[in-house]
Amino acid sequence: MTSVSRNKGVFDKMPQKIVCVGKLKEKYLKSAIDEYQKRMQRFGKLNIVEVPDEKAPQNMSDKEIEQVKDKEGEKILSKINDQDFVITLEILGKEISSEKLAQNIKDWTTYGHSSLVFVIGGSNGLSEAVMKRSNYALSFGKMTLPHQLMRVVLCEQVYRAFMINSGSAYHK
């Protein structure tokens, strides 16, 4: 019996979703995401849901920034169901290893969360409402990455987590 078949009941064809602000324009990033979506098919569909970003001037006041985050937050929340387990990407979230992310995904899905939703906010961050809805705040470190590149990094790490949980050598 292989590792894949041992975990099949938990990880077979489980839908995953990434909700993100803004449209991906760069072809090379789209290509990378398409590749990880294709690879993820053996575990389930990896859906990318884009919500429009709010047009905002460069030098906004703190109040204007909050208004933009609130509007984007409403759009994000409209894509999340009550039963979804929500993982937000936040600078102040928990920094964990790929192995720990894999273990968390395994635990979350084993204990009744069949639909995981990862959320990447806009350039101003996430609204309070989205952060309150979050079940887990995840950080990829204190460095700032372009949101479009963060999608690729997240897709790869989700794929890596499923490969770790299936016992694949991909992670090595």
> Three-state SS string across 111-145, please?
CCCCCEEEEECECCECCHHHHHHCCEEEECCCCCC
pLDDT band at 172 (very low <50, low <70, confident <90, very high): low
Residues 85 and 80: their CA atoms lie apart, in Å, by 9
pLDDT digits (tens, 9 = 90+) for 43-82: 989 999 999 999 888 899 999 999 999 999 999 999 999 9
Binding site per annotation, positions: 89, 121, 140-145
Is the pLDDT at 7 greater than 50? The verdict is no
Among 67-76, 89-98, 137-146, the minimum mean pLDDT is found in 137-146
Give the pLDDT score at 145: 86
Binding site per annotation, positions for S-adenosyl-L-methionine: 89, 121, 140-145
Q: How many structural domains comprise the chain?
A: 1
- The pTM of the whole model exceeds 0.85: yes
CATH number (domain holding residue 97): 3.40.1280.10
Query: What SS3 class is residue 169?
Result: helix
Share of the chain above pLDDT 90, in %: 73
Give the pLDDT score at 114: 73
CB within 8 Å of 45: residues ≥ 6 apart: 13, 15, 16, 37
Q: Which domain holds residue 14?
A: 3-171
CB within 8 Å of 127: residues ≥ 6 apart: 66, 69, 70, 72, 73, 74, 76, 121
Residue 79 or 143, more confident: 79
The residue-averaged pLDDT of 123-133 equals 96
Q: What are the tokens at 26?
A: 């760069």
Among 34-48, 73-87, 110-124, the minimum mean pLDDT is found in 110-124
Distances (CA, A) of 153 to 35, 41, 71, 120: 12, 18, 25, 11
Q: What are the tokens at 47?
A: 């859906």
pLDDT band at 6 (very low <50, low <70, confident <90, very high): very low
Is the pLDDT at 3 greater than 80? The verdict is no
Task: Count the neighbouring beta carbons within 10 Å of the beta carbon of residue 90.
Answer: 20
Distances (CA, A) of 106 to 67, 117, 130, 149: 36, 14, 23, 25
